[in-house]
Amino acid sequence: MSLFQPLILPNGSRIPNRIAKAAMEENMADADHAPSADLLRLYQAWAEGGAGLIITGNVMVDARAMTGAGGVVLEDERHLDRFEAWARTGRAQGAALWMQINHPGRQMPAALGQPTLAPSAVALDLGRQSGLFAMPREMDEADILDVQRRFVATARLAERAGFSGVEIHAAHGYLLSQFLSPLSNRRQDRWGGSLPNRARLLLDIVRGVRASVAPGFAVAVKLNSADFQRGGFSPEDARAVVALLAPLGVDLVELSGGSYEAPAMLGSARDERTLAREAYFLSFAREIAQAATLPLMVTGGIRRRAVAQQVLDSDMAMVGIATALAIAPDLPRQWAQGRDPAPQLRPITWSNKPLAATAHMAAVKHQLQRLASARPTRPGVSPLWALLGSQWEAWRQASRYRRWVSARDTGPALRTV
């Protein structure tokens, strides 16, 4: 199977090739937490780069629950025209454009000043960085049903705006991933305990989204192949959840791994032996593929064409690429022309893994910011320099966000859909 062979999804929609731009958190919202002009310029670069599928960075389903202060929010009709412009930009060259929709749960920075919710009152364990995140409040039934409603409402709005699908984020330690993990979900009610109970919220959201959008609108799920923590969400759990998703009209499952506590999605986990230099999660994905009846995609460290082809040859339907496309947004086009670059950031060998992961994300954001301003990328940027710059920007954005959410709470509410 070729990287440039089209993929027909279960719902009948077509993706022109097997290369996906996987989600990266851009933190490029405008003053209204809608898509900014910079964000549109960034997606223009990816649209022109040749990927068959472009998955956005986090779009939040609740303005009070953010993964970062500069994040985009879509919870009602406010500024829908800016989302329409985003959709037109991303789809202009023929790629499918999916909006990744998310709720952070306990992985929301304390600096944002908002109450933090989670399945159970279990704080993040990040060592010396633990204080950056507040102790969460255990969600009650009303909280859970509100989150479910919000995911469905955001998916409907994404369809109205012209996106071709949504990806429901249930990986990387965010809220739906927290429900799936027995380490963060210690509930004894119908939302906790057994795996079917821990998966209930994700499954209910998928059912609600699928029932609320057109058949040709893609519905995907991002799922951890494992969370790389003892006693946590395991590859066996992932295989079982994929089987539960199969009859619900899901068009694709993207397999990744890790969380803020064990950032395997950035090439670093508590058990380093489980990770290869590229295609970190392929060995787990192969096991899941043996029982899967729907298309799978693997994301994590892929930057060379030969490795991307190896992923496809391992019964995967698509290859997800993130960091390499932050450095070289036209990488798919270069591969199609017979060239074979392997974009790579400056290595980070710090012993503090959570801090190293934060520096990696900062170095990626540095590339995205340069692309958004039509400047060449700088893969050799100092991780420390990128981290300091990112922390300053996060502080500035957090101050702006607190003012924005306070003013917004006193204004008139708008109808969703």
Tell how far CA 65 is from the center of its chain: 15
Q: Say what the pLDDT of residue 131 is.
A: 84
Segment holding 168, helix H or strand E = strand 165-170
Q: Phi first, then psi: give them for residue 166, nearest 5 degrees.
A: -130, 150
Residue 407: is it exposed, middle or buried by C-beta count within 10 angstroms (0-12/13-18/19+)? exposed
Number of C-beta neighbours around residue 235 at 10 A: 18
Max Cα–Cα distance, the chain, nearest Å: 56
**What is the reported pLDDT for 154?**
98
For the chain (417 residues), the mean pLDDT of every run of 10, in chain order, is 96 98 96 97 98 98 95 96 98 98 96 96 84 94 98 98 98 95 96 97 98 98 80 87 96 85 48 43 79 89 92 93 97 96 92 86 96 97 95 94 85 47
Pick among 3.20.20.70, 1.10.10.10, 3.30.1860.10, 3.40.309.10: CATH of 7-409 = 3.20.20.70
Q: Which residues pair with 219 in a beta bridge?
A: 166
What global pTM score does this model have?
A: 0.93
Tokens encoding 404: 């924005």
The CA distance from 161 to 88, in Å, is 9
Q: How many helices (H) and strands (E) does the chain have?
A: 13, 14
pLDDT score recorded for residue 323: 95
Q: Where are the alpha helices (DSSP H) in 181-314?
A: 195-198, 200-212, 235-245, 282-289, 305-312
The token pair at 171 is 């990986």
Which of 264, 289, 266 shows the shortest CA–CA distance to 274?
Answer: 264
Could you write out the three-class secondary structure of 136-156? CEECCHHHHHHHHHHHHHHHH
